[in-house]
Structure 1
Amino acid sequence: MLPAALLLCFASTLLLYLASPRQRLRATPLPPWVRAAAWLVAAGGVAAWVALLGPGAGGFAALTALMLGWVALPYLAWYAAPEERR
């Protein structure tokens, strides 16, 4: 259950990032409906964490996993585009 919870949270952050107009991993952002799908995937991740750890710890673990993805993705995009580092 733990890998599923992590995968859902990280997948939702990736979808949210790729649907953002300021993302740098694709030439064009994903369509806006992907944001709604990303929030549904995030809700599934929160539900998985809550089922695994209970409501208190599961909620905070889900927020931690989501925040880790939201912080790491812009840095990974910056690292993947070497021409922007000059």
Structure 2
Amino acid sequence: MLPAALLLCFASALLCYLASPQQRLRAAPLPKWTRLAALACAAGGAGAWVDVLGVGAGLFTALTALMLGWVGLPYAAWYAGREERR
């Protein structure tokens, strides 16, 4: 259950990032309906974390996983762009 919870949270962060107009990993952002898919993944990930750890720890762990994804994706985009410029 832990890998599923982590993957759902990271998938949510990735979909949210790729649907943003400021994303740099794709030439064009994903359609706006993918934000709903990101919300569904976040809810599923939070539910999975709550099932494993309980309400308090599960919600904070889900938020931590989401924040880790949201912080890491711009750095991944920067690194990918740096490799293209060489």
Structure 2 length normalisation: TM-score?
0.95
Q: Measure the CA separation in 1 of the matches of 2:53 and 2:9.
A: 15
Sequence identity percentage: 75
1:24: which partner in 2? Answer: 24
Aligned to 2:65: 65
Contact 1:2 1:49 in 2 (8 A): yes
The Cα shift of 1:82 comes to 1.2
Q: Distance in 1 between matches of 2:2 and 2:83?
A: 37
Q: Which residue of 2 aligns with 1:33?
A: 33
TM-score, normalised to structure 1, is 0.95
Aligned residues: 86
Alpha-carbon distance in 1 for matches of 2:57, 2:6:
14
* Displacement of 1:84: 8.4
Q: Could you list the runs of 5+ residues in structure 1 that have no partner in the other structure?
A: none
Unaligned runs of 5+ in 2: none
